[in-house]
Structure 1
Amino acid sequence: MVNELDRTTWRTLSDIAWEIGFQHGVVITTVKYSRQQFESSPHKASPLVHSILEEGIVA
C-alpha cells in the first residue's frame, strides 16, 4: 500500500519486482493499492490482504 498510486509508482513497483524475480529465477506478482483504495473498498476484506496484515509484511 502506498499513499498515492499513480502510473509512475505502479510501474516502478512492477519493475523492481521483475528485476528481483529475474535475478533469483522466481516470479513475483505485485498487488498494489493506494491508501484510499485499500480503506474504502472490499479489497480490505480479501484473504490475501488479511494474510499480509497478519504476517506483518509492510510495503
Structure 2
Amino acid sequence: MVALAALIPILMLGVVLALGRYEELMLPEPKGDRTEPDALPVAVPSPVATSSPAPAGTPAPSP
C-alpha cells in the first residue's frame, strides 16, 4: 500500500509531462502569428539629480 502511494504521484507526473511534450509536437506554435516582440530592449535608468540631499539622522520625537 505504501509503495502504491509513492508510485501513483510519480506516474501521474510522468503522464502530465508526456502529455505536455505530445501537445508541443502535435500543436506547434506558428511563428508568423506572434504578437509580442522577440526581445524587449533593456532600458537603463539614468541617474536622477536632486535639488537637495536627503535629510540625515532621525526625526525629532513627537510630544
TM-score between the two structures when normalised by the length of structure 2: 0.31
Query: Normalising to structure 1: TM-score of the pair?
Result: 0.33
The answer to which structure has the higher helix fraction is: 1
